[in-house]
Amino acid sequence: MGAPSIPRALAIGAVAFVALVAAPLATGSTVLIDFVIRLSALAIFATSLNLLAGYGGMVSFGHGMFYGFGAYCFALMMQRTGVSIPVAFLTTVVGAALVSAIIGAICVRLKEVYFSFVTLAFQMLIHAIILAAMPLTGGDQGLRGGVPRPVFLGVDLSNQMQLCVFSAFLLVASLLVMHHVVASPFGATLRMIRDNAQRAAYLGVAVDRVRLKAFVIAAVFAAVGGVVQALFVSGAYPEFAYWTMSGEGIFVIMLGGLTTFLGPTLGSVIMLLLNDVVTRFTHYHGLVLGIVILVAALGLRKGLGDFVVERLADRRRQEAA
Amino acid sequence: MTAALDVIGLCKSFGGVRAIDNVTLSFPSGSLSAVIGPNGAGKSTFFNLISGAFTPDAGEVRVEGRNIAGLSRAEIVRRGIGRAFQVASIFPTFTVADSLYAAVQSGQGHAERLVGRFPLSGARARAHEVAEMLGLADKLHRVASTLSHGDQKLLDIAIALVREPRILLLDEPTAGMGPEERWRMIEKVRELWERQKITVVFIEHDMDIVFRIAPTIRVLCYGRVLAEGTPDEIRANPAVIEAYLGTAHEGAAA
Ligand SMILES: Nc1ncnc2c1ncn2[C@@H]1O[C@H](COP(=O)(O)OP(=O)(O)OP(=O)(O)O)[C@@H](O)[C@H]1O
Ligand SMILES: [Mg+2]
């Protein structure tokens, strides 16, 4: 499986970007516009979790904390400091890197289920801090009053159409960067550690350091997803940093597939569609989602993306034979 | 001949069990030797101590005269010790080629490189050379977990060989193989030793193989060195017959 060269990846990204914004731009439909923005937030988040869990073997139950961190950090910067959007964005990214480096330094040494539990514990801590810091965060009411969006470089994010284009751009850029990470020599080392950390150590790999770097990269992109979400809802809510957010990320990955890079993006599309369609017909949308996941997990035994990719590979092999 | 590897007064206990108990052994440069001993004798522990998986309680491990006891696994690899495992230690989802490319890039210091794409072009030559050496060249695109047991053991050795070790420790390279496959494997090991001119130490349970292949044999029992010598000397050693060959024959009869 040859990874595409960088110019080719950029070309694919450009096509994807156009495809994402074409329908909303052409129709002006608010449903489509909102869909692309929500998709961007969720798919960036889920792909970042997959980088950690699927490629790195680190199944974090607390990845949502960085999504929440991104949303709050960005929204607060915009509300309280009057900086421009790019500055708030960069500050959020750097902040997420620092916070995740500290949390990761503790977590990445832990193996398997201990890693999962301790990330979950940190998430509960962050969630509790958000609830407790009432004057700053609005506590359980969430951060209200709207997120100001001063125009930058001619971009006006208070215009929903422009926000849609901006979100799609962030989605494509994030996917390109994360794909590059996964396809780089570093990405191979990360998969090596997932497969057999002891063997990797015998080859001279600094296992914990590689795991920490992956943890930080994933956290940064989770925060980017949080920024998009904060712009979409014009605020931030404690649920963004709650364990259900991490759970949703894992659901999405399971739906879409964890061995295919675009699996979590596909899973995000399915998840949002299910949400929208199912909530229109029934109040039991959690039940329906649960059944869908069970069918995917027990029936296909993999995510939809994995299933499709494997089928295609089988076909190609048969044609070659 | 100078010694490639000198082990002096090595000790390691697990709880109350003295897995390695004051072991002193010397492995001459370019030698091929076997380590034998009954189950639980401490053979794997001996390799684990040399290769840095465990820190010795006491004693020294000298590579070309310099003590490496207590260094990290990575540092010990850098000092020229490579090892393969009793249970093949591979990267199950990697193809044979990718396993070797990844091993090469780690050795070249590119493990954490974010620039460029895997595999780096500089990794190919060495990886293919090693695959050739072990007869894996026609299986480069097979996923490791789908390889036969024997090929997985070969891949394990290949991953170690990538780093061009001067001392190669093979923990039961023939474990779990049928009689014919065992011989093929051990011939590969001997060929490797002859061609690469490195020091090879292997653990082996099959006495036919050991006596036929290894010029020198070390016998471990309850963590101690019971005997060392040529196949003829070992065969004639009463302590060995009692402690090891006796039980091995009982084992074979059972
Ligand atoms: N990590 C460990 N923790 C505790 N005890 C251990 C550990 N590794 C080995 N031992 C103990 O040390 C002793 C020697 O074990 P070792 O695996 O070195 O034997 P061996 O000679 O390789 O046996 P085999 O032929 O079965 O592979 C055994 O009693 C074993 O239970
Ligand atoms: Mg053993």
Residue B137 belongs to what domain range? 81-164
Does residue B10 sit in the same domain as residue B62? Answer: yes
- How far is the alpha carbon of A34 from chain B, nearest alpha carbon, in Å? 34
pLDDT given for residue B74 in this prediction? 87
Query: Has residue B247 got a pLDDT over 70?
Result: no
Is residue B251 domain-resident?
yes
Domain count for chain B: 2
Does residue B100 sit in the same domain as residue B71? Answer: no
* Distance of alpha carbon A261 from alpha carbon A254, whole angstroms: 13
Task: Give strand pairing partners of B227.
Answer: B219
Choosing from B12, B36, B45 the residue with most ligand 1 atoms within 8 A of its CB, the one to mutate for a pocket test is B45
Ligand 1 pocket check for B17: Cβ under 6 Å: yes
The answer to whether the Cβ–Cβ distance between B112 and A202 falls below 8 Å is: no
Is residue B170 domain-resident?
no
Give percent above pLDDT 90 in chain A.
Answer: 70
**Coil/strand/helix, residue A95:** helix
Contacts of B110 in chain A (CB under 8 A): 185
Mutate to test the interface with B, among A8, A196, A202 (most CBs of B within 10 A): A202
pLDDT given for residue A131 in this prediction? 93
Is residue B129 domain-resident?
yes
The answer to whether the Cβ–Cβ distance between B77 and A196 falls below 8 Å is: no
Domain boundary among B149, B164, B179: B164
Ligand 2 centre distance from Cα of residue B40 (Å): 7
Does residue B103 sit in the same domain as residue B160? Answer: yes
Is residue B92 domain-resident?
yes
Task: Give strand pairing partners of B11.
Answer: B58
pTM (predicted TM-score): 0.90
Spatial strand order in the sheet of B3-14 = B17-28, B3-14, B58-63, B66-67
Give percent above pLDDT 70 in chain A.
Answer: 97
Tokens 């990269």 belong to: A217
Is residue B206 domain-resident?
yes
Does residue B203 sit in the same domain as residue B158? Answer: no
Query: Has residue B144 got a pLDDT over 90?
Result: yes
Does residue B57 sit in the same domain as residue B72? Answer: yes
pLDDT given for residue B249 in this prediction? 47
Range ranked top by mean pLDDT from B149-163, B178-192, B225-239? B149-163
One-letter amino acid identity for A211? R
**Coil/strand/helix, residue B143:** strand
Four-point Cα dihedral A10, A14, A15, A16, nearest 10: 90
Does residue B114 sit in the same domain as residue B145? Answer: yes
Average pLDDT over every residue of B34-61? 93
> ipTM of this predicted complex?
0.88
Task: Average the pLDDT over each of A226-240, A248-262, B63-77, B239-253 and give the range with the smallest value.
Answer: B239-253
Whether omega for the bond prior to residue B119 falls within 30 degrees of 0, making it cis, is yes
Query: Has residue B90 got a pLDDT over 80?
Result: yes
pLDDT given for residue B254 in this prediction? 33
Query: Has residue A192 got a pLDDT over 80?
Result: yes
Domain boundary among B111, B138, B164: B164
Does residue B251 sit in the same domain as residue B223? Answer: yes
Backbone angles phi, psi at B63, to 5 degrees: -105, 120
* Distance of alpha carbon B74 from alpha carbon B106, whole angstroms: 10
Ligand 1 pocket check for B58: Cβ under 6 Å: no
Taking the CA of residue B205 as reference, the ligand 1 atom at the shortest distance is 25
Give percent above pLDDT 70 in chain B.
Answer: 95
Task: Average the pLDDT over each of A79-83, A317-321, B131-135 and give the range with the smallest value.
Answer: A317-321
pLDDT given for residue A321 in this prediction? 59
- How far is the alpha carbon of A199 from chain B, nearest alpha carbon, in Å? 6
Give the residue whose CA is nearest to atom 30 of ligand 1: B40
CB B63 within 8 A of CB B201: no
Q: Which of B61, B144, B48, B138 is nearest to B99 (CA)?
A: B144
Average pLDDT over every residue of A141-165? 92
pLDDT band at A246 (very low <50, low <70, confident <90, very high): very high
Task: Give strand pairing partners of B10.
Answer: B23
Average pLDDT over every residue of B123-133? 93
Average pLDDT over every residue of A261-285? 86
Does residue B128 sit in the same domain as residue B154? Answer: yes
pLDDT band at B235 (very low <50, low <70, confident <90, very high): confident
pLDDT given for residue A226 in this prediction? 98
**pLDDT digit string (tens) for A32-75?**
999 999 999 999 999 999 999 999 999 999 999 999 999 999 99
Average pLDDT over every residue of A82-98? 96
Average pLDDT, chain A: 90
Is residue B20 domain-resident?
yes
Is residue B174 domain-resident?
no
pLDDT given for residue A319 in this prediction? 72
Range ranked top by mean pLDDT from A2-11, A312-321, B220-229? B220-229
Beta-strand relationship, B32-36 and B199-203: parallel
Average pLDDT over every residue of B200-207? 92
Spatial strand order in the sheet of B216-221 = B81-84, B167-170, B199-203, B32-36, B216-221, B224-229
Mutate to test the interface with A, among B54, B73, B83, B153 (most CBs of A within 10 A): B73
Distance (Å) of CA A288 to CA A237, A266, A285, A298: 25, 18, 5, 15
Is residue B126 domain-resident?
yes
Chain B residues at the A interface, defined by Cβ less than 8 Å, are 51, 53, 73-74, 77-78, 83, 89-94, 98, 101-103, 105-107, 110-120, 159-160, 162-163
Does residue B70 sit in the same domain as residue B108? Answer: no
Ligand 2 centre distance from Cα of residue A208 (Å): 27
Contacts of B83 in chain A (CB under 8 A): 202
pLDDT given for residue B113 in this prediction? 95
Here the tokens at position A42 are 């969720």
Q: Which of A170, A173, A178 is nearest to A85 (CA)?
A: A170
Query: Has residue B29 got a pLDDT over 80?
Result: yes
Query: Has residue B245 got a pLDDT over 60?
Result: no
* Distance of alpha carbon B163 from alpha carbon B80, whole angstroms: 8
**pLDDT digit string (tens) for A285-312?**
778 877 877 777 776 666 677 777 777 7
Q: Where are the beta strands (DSSP E) in A161-263?
A: none
The answer to whether the Cβ–Cβ distance between B114 and A185 falls below 8 Å is: yes
In sequence order, the 6+-apart residues with CB closer than 8 A to the CB of B108 are: B120, B122, B123
Does residue B93 sit in the same domain as residue B136? Answer: yes
pLDDT given for residue B252 in this prediction? 41
Does residue B71 sit in the same domain as residue B90? Answer: no
How many residue contacts between A and B have a Cβ separation below 8 Å? Answer: 100
Does residue B72 sit in the same domain as residue B89? Answer: no
**CATH number, residue B124:** 3.40.50.300
- How far is the alpha carbon of B180 from chain A, nearest alpha carbon, in Å? 28
Task: Say which residue, B158 or A317, is predicted with more confidence.
Answer: B158
Tokens 């794909």 belong to: A179
Ligand 1 pocket check for B42: Cβ under 6 Å: yes
Average pLDDT over every residue of B86-92? 95
The answer to whether the Cβ–Cβ distance between A183 and B118 falls below 8 Å is: yes
pLDDT band at B217 (very low <50, low <70, confident <90, very high): very high
Domain boundary among B146, B164, B182: B164
Contacts of B163 in chain A (CB under 8 A): 203-204
Query: Has residue A232 got a pLDDT over 70?
Result: yes
Average pLDDT over every residue of A145-149? 90
* Distance of alpha carbon B203 from alpha carbon B223, whole angstroms: 14
Angle at A247 between CA A245 and CA A253, to 5 degrees: 110
* Distance of alpha carbon A282 from alpha carbon A286, whole angstroms: 10
The answer to whether the Cβ–Cβ distance between A205 and B74 falls below 8 Å is: yes
